[in-house]
A and B are shown apart, each in its own frame.
Chain A
């Protein structure tokens, strides 16, 4: 908590209180900037500011730009980094509203009656989504917050169930947000009517030709457009349920839900009440320094009125936040112009505009390519000598946008028309980007800055896209410049003569992918052969497991025979998971999480007989902890006899396929998710990969199996299955992305076969699917072209590899148990196999045994349950 009176005096009396009203993206950026830069005073003391953020919504600041993702998935939109909130001098009070500001006394009053004094105050109150004052307006909804979006999603699902037909939704507003809302609702299965007062969609950003092209593309997605009119009345029945919307053109649209997304209204009411100057059309007036008319009061983001208008885009909001942070810390940064460049994907349609997109300046030339039949529209606006780039619009194919936008206001090196890819069908002409051109407008990162990070001017050189993004912050917000950042990275590395080292370790100068291909083509089968042909030295704990995994992926041979045992990583070597004291945990496979009471009883009995600590895993399985190496064969003999197989929790391989109970029991399920999960788990069990991977199968869109948090997520639809790829939990969570929709069982399996094999062949070692796809040039689009369109002509080969795996699968523990030579690898001591592996004291806690802590071991009062009560190998039963 800041303002703690008991803070040590080292914090100094010079600490000042910064209060930010509003907890949206602008506030987050300001706090992040202060957090990272406010490191010392002129006197050399600690940070200068204690920061309190008053956030009305019950959430930490989240990414409002990505609301549409929340509409169609459970995405966590919390803005990164979250580290500022951990600081003890930064506090965010969520669910708290400011009710008054006294600029004389420098105090903010809060809804709970308390107040907080400030040295500096920043308005980041954002805006609200207005609903026009028409009859029945109280029945309309808006699209602005997480709560709004969650409500809309639940309603669309509920209404569909209630009526036994798709929900009918009328969306008013054909701008950015309205189109996003309409697209998302349509993806959820709603029948969407889009009502827009302008003559064409996105009339604020696009000219008529582009708007028409966009309209055709949007109409093709099944959304019905009503242009040049607006809602006059929302009709509802006696119970307040929406029945229809009457339009100005006298048409009446039957509707179950009405959503208004017709613009933004600055939340300037507190400022007005406090006597701070606001604009004619609303918004707190700021200058280039982002100060308001009141001393020590600033405004940033959508609520700020700069040069007569407010802007609802994230890039200007971030830029203002940076200006205020700089000025609070003694700098003199200025906010000089609003960058209103926009790029987005609406219902799968690329749209981008930047600069003087409509060509409204004097003496400008427009170079246009329009293909109405294909819904393509590309336009560049240039100076009358056709040299200086002034703006542009792209609909249907926005490929040139990311490279051209940084060149706004600069001379083009080639003929303008050569940049219109839709016309030529070629890649956009190569552009020489000057250092001071902006590559990421959201985070204000220039081309030069990106280059500096690649060269290592700011610490370690960033030689891969992921680290370059996270260090430079370019491409981390809206993501539209990522491909350009990638190009700059490649150019810089090539120019510097740096070959990006993909060497696995000192023994292999080549990447895992290259080793994989060489092993496959040369038909190599042993480590000595492989390191002899492709590497040098004797190997290590990095390349040996990697080679073992490659061999296991290509041949379904037992992983410990023929010298392979010594290559295996810690867990694979014992076919069990080593715990911190050197004992092991055992995880039997429970396909799809379905298990009979009889099998449960066997697990219970084994755990009880061997004194194993038992815990349910996150993957719908049961983990038995505390087994000694020499006990593993006996434990597994009982499990195998009862029909269990290895769950391969120890392998870089398929773990589990998590499923919900599906249509068999669930009132909402539309497909048999359990049967599909079992089918998939049995198909891919034992398949070794560069990293462990998990599946999820959900029986309906409610997604109870959390399939989108898995490497492969399968979600039932009325028509079949949606296939998602590239999700994971863990250290760096990622949501899976939609690869294909409404697949039948057979196609689904075929696509998964191809996807997994393509991943196994081409990923780096220990690279999870999410990271792999992120680094593939083209990302998910490339994956789609390989998996679905078979553009590389690999599909048949990938499927054949998978067929060979499925054919050759054998349970590793059953294979171990039937061979005395293999069992020898589990002996405690070569010279004393009867003597149990030593050193596993246990203490009791909550009715189970666990390893003692260091403190407990040192404490003579600790009651240790020692080894001998646990059966020694051969001693049990």
Chain B
């Protein structure tokens, strides 16, 4: 949990880097999949080509690489992902766990460049 995705962090170019993950059309809507970026497992969720989330694929509670296989949904206005193991629910934007206070899921900014999804990770 070294990174907070704020614009301030963007300015600090030495700490982060945008990595190409995969073409947008590789992902089915609301069907998460994992990508391997510099040895790190990251789960991608495409809601629409304009709304793509990236979080750590490692379940913070169970330490297993499964988050990409959870169910995407919403709680009120917040987009969520539920762990496929024990169903803890996380805010996809902030990583905050909505069912177990204090637990956090690492999140990463995303963007689409030329039809390819990019994820910003620490460099």
B-side contacts of A825, CB under 8 Å: 28, 31
The verdict on B121 contacting chain A, using a C-beta distance below 8 Å, is no
Contact B29 A831 (CB under 8 A): no
Q: A538-B79, A545-B71 are in contact. Are A566 and B36 (CB under 8 A)?
A: no
Q: A582-B64, A830-B21 are in contact. Are A540 and B73 (CB under 8 A)?
A: yes
A172 to B30, CA, bound (A): 71
How many residue-residue contacts, CB under 8 A, span A and B? 103
Contact B29 A563 (CB under 8 A): yes
The verdict on B87 contacting chain A, using a C-beta distance below 8 Å, is yes
The verdict on A861 contacting chain B, using a C-beta distance below 8 Å, is no
The verdict on A734 contacting chain B, using a C-beta distance below 8 Å, is no
The verdict on A544 contacting chain B, using a C-beta distance below 8 Å, is yes
A-side contacts of B47, CB under 8 Å: 538
CB distance from A842 to the nearest CB of B (A): 14
The count of residues in chain A whose C-beta lies closer than 8 Å to any C-beta of chain B is 33
B 22-63 to A, binary, CB cutoff 8 A, 1 in contact else 0? 100011111111111100010010010000000000010010
The verdict on B105 contacting chain A, using a C-beta distance below 8 Å, is no
Contact A837 B72 (CB under 8 A): no
The verdict on A506 contacting chain B, using a C-beta distance below 8 Å, is yes
The verdict on B70 contacting chain A, using a C-beta distance below 8 Å, is yes
The verdict on B85 contacting chain A, using a C-beta distance below 8 Å, is yes
Question: Which of B47, B79, B84: most chain A CB closer than 10 A?
Answer: B84
The verdict on A753 contacting chain B, using a C-beta distance below 8 Å, is no
The verdict on B109 contacting chain A, using a C-beta distance below 8 Å, is no
CB distance from B39 to the nearest CB of A (A): 9
Q: A538-B79, A566-B31, A830-B26 are in contact. Are A578 and B36 (CB under 8 A)?
A: no
Contact B28 A565 (CB under 8 A): yes
Question: Which of A545, A563, A839: most chain B CB closer than 10 A?
Answer: A839
Q: A541-B70, A565-B28 are in contact. Are A839 and B64 (CB under 8 A)?
A: yes
Report the nearest A residue to B34, measured CB to CB. A829
Q: Which segment, of A100-108, A212-220, A317-325, A568-576, faces chain B? A: A568-576
Q: A566-B30, A825-B31, A839-B65 are in contact. Are A831 and B73 (CB under 8 A)?
A: no
A580 to B80, CA, bound (A): 22
Q: Give which listed residue, A540, A541, A545, A831, contacts B36 with CB less than 8 A.
A: A831
A-side contacts of B97, CB under 8 Å: none
Q: Which of A306-330 contact B (CB under 8 A)?
A: none
B-side contacts of A544, CB under 8 Å: 71, 73
Question: Which of B28, B62, B89: most chain A CB closer than 10 A?
Answer: B28
CB distance from A105 to the nearest CB of B (A): 57
The verdict on A81 contacting chain B, using a C-beta distance below 8 Å, is no
CB distance from B9 to the nearest CB of A (A): 24
The verdict on A835 contacting chain B, using a C-beta distance below 8 Å, is yes
Contact B41 A539 (CB under 8 A): no
A839 to B84, CA, bound (A): 17
Contact B71 A565 (CB under 8 A): no
The verdict on B10 contacting chain A, using a C-beta distance below 8 Å, is no
A-side contacts of B89, CB under 8 Å: 540-541
Contact B75 A540 (CB under 8 A): yes
The verdict on A259 contacting chain B, using a C-beta distance below 8 Å, is no
Contact A827 B84 (CB under 8 A): no
Contact B73 A541 (CB under 8 A): yes
B-side contacts of A545, CB under 8 Å: 71
A827 to B31, CA, bound (A): 13
Report the nearest B residue to A506, measured CB to CB. B75
Contact A538 B73 (CB under 8 A): yes
Interface of B is mostly: strand
CB distance from A577 to the nearest CB of B (A): 11
A829 to B80, CA, bound (A): 22
CB distance from A654 to the nearest CB of B (A): 23
A-side contacts of B84, CB under 8 Å: 570, 573, 578
The verdict on A567 contacting chain B, using a C-beta distance below 8 Å, is yes
Contact B66 A539 (CB under 8 A): no
The verdict on A581 contacting chain B, using a C-beta distance below 8 Å, is yes
The verdict on A240 contacting chain B, using a C-beta distance below 8 Å, is no
Contact B69 A573 (CB under 8 A): yes
Q: A578-B66, A580-B62, A580-B64 are in contact. Are A827 and B33 (CB under 8 A)?
A: yes
CB distance from A520 to the nearest CB of B (A): 24
CB distance from A78 to the nearest CB of B (A): 31
Contact B85 A566 (CB under 8 A): no
A153 to B22, CA, bound (A): 69
Contact B65 A566 (CB under 8 A): no
A287 to B12, CA, bound (A): 87
Q: Give which listed residue, B27, B28, B30, B36, contacts A835 with CB less than 8 A.
A: B36
Contact A569 B21 (CB under 8 A): no
A630 to B22, CA, bound (A): 18
A838 to B84, CA, bound (A): 17
The verdict on A537 contacting chain B, using a C-beta distance below 8 Å, is yes
B-side contacts of A838, CB under 8 Å: 41, 65
The verdict on A828 contacting chain B, using a C-beta distance below 8 Å, is yes
The verdict on A832 contacting chain B, using a C-beta distance below 8 Å, is yes
CB distance from A751 to the nearest CB of B (A): 36
Contact B71 A566 (CB under 8 A): yes
A835 to B41, CA, bound (A): 11
B-side contacts of A629, CB under 8 Å: 69
Q: A541-B82, A541-B87 are in contact. Are A563 and B69 (CB under 8 A)?
A: no
A544 to B87, CA, bound (A): 13
Q: Which of A818-868 contact B (CB under 8 A)?
A: 825, 827-832, 835, 837-839
B 85-105 to A, binary, CB cutoff 8 A, 1 in contact else 0? 101010000000000000000
Report the nearest A residue to B62, measured CB to CB. A580
Q: Can you give 15 A-B contacts (C-beta < 8 A)?
A: A507-B73, A537-B74, A537-B76, A538-B47, A539-B73, A540-B80, A541-B82, A566-B30, A569-B71, A570-B69, A578-B69, A582-B85, A829-B36, A831-B20, A838-B65
Please report A residues at the B interface, Cβ cutoff 8 Å: 506-507, 537-541, 544-545, 563, 565-567, 569-570, 573-574, 578, 580-582, 629, 825, 827-832, 835, 837-839
Beyond contacts A539-B71, A544-B73, A566-B28: 19 other A-B pairs, Cβ-Cβ < 8 A, are: A507-B74, A537-B73, A537-B76, A538-B74, A540-B73, A541-B71, A541-B82, A563-B31, A565-B31, A567-B71, A581-B62, A582-B62, A582-B65, A582-B85, A825-B31, A831-B20, A831-B36, A837-B34, A838-B41
